Amino acid sequence: MKQVGFPEGFVLEPLCATHSRREFHCGVEAVNQWLWTRALQNQEKHLSVTKVLTSGKGAIAGYYSLATGQIDFSDLPAEVAKKLPKRSLPVAVLAWLGVDRTCQGRELGTRLLAQALRDCHEAGKTFAFVAVILDCLDKRSKAFYQRWDFAELPGNPFRMFLSAATLKAMMDPAGA
């Protein structure tokens, strides 16, 4: 699988106990707390997978967490749900994404999101899902995801989705 390019000196790797999670501060307490207290536990329980982007000094510059979930077909927009069975449907979940304050403004969040979506796309070749979903914490994060073609789920303006078809088109623009 092709990986997104990160600046020289940065390495993307699975979260492990030796990473200094408590030194990570992105400016959003919920995003910090997840990494500090829950990410490794959830990974060890096979509930999610967290990848960290480390700097040359070993500090965590950013991270994302992915999981799987389900969504009821009625929660999807009609144009997405119209040909799907009327039941709970599998989804990929971008649970968390954050960039340390010391590394913000360097497009690392964009690169981490691109890699997270690439990971979802690759996983979708083995484990099917109808969309990637995420929950935005605020209007700023919502605007960030909208630039990547994430759209609101009906009735929940801070829950966003990217259909599997749109993801495939992003990753395989030539239809390969």
On whether the CB atoms of residues 112 and 64 are closer than 8 A, the answer is yes
Contact 58, 21 (CB under 8 A): no
Task: Annotate 60-128 with DSSP letters as a single string.
Answer: EEEEEEEEEEEEEGGGS-HHHHTTS-SSEEEEEEEEEEEE-GGGTTSSHHHHHHHHHHHHHHHHTTTS-
pLDDT digits (tens, 9 = 90+) for 70-113: 999 899 988 888 888 999 999 999 999 999 999 999 999 999 99
- Tell me the CA distances in angstroms from 29 to 22, 61, 66, 69, 90, one per residue in order: 12, 16, 19, 24, 29
Which pLDDT score is estimated for 56?
Answer: 77
Q: What pLDDT tens digit does each residue of the chain (176 aa) get?
A: 467 889 999 999 999 999 999 999 999 999 999 999 999 999 999 999 999 999 978 899 999 999 999 999 899 988 888 888 999 999 999 999 999 999 999 999 999 999 999 999 999 999 999 999 999 999 999 999 999 999 999 989 999 999 999 999 999 766 54
- Residue 146: CB atoms within 10 A of its CB come to 13
Phi/psi of residue 108, each to 5°? -70, -35
Rounded Cα gap, residues 60 and 93, in angstroms: 22
Q: Which residue pairs from 124-127 have beta carbons closer than 8 angstroms and sit at least 24 positions apart in sequence?
A: 124/92, 124/164, 124/167, 124/168, 127/68, 127/90
- Looking at residue 80, what is its pLDDT? 85
Which pTM value belongs to this model?
0.92
pLDDT score, position 176: 46
CATH class belonging to 11-171: alpha beta
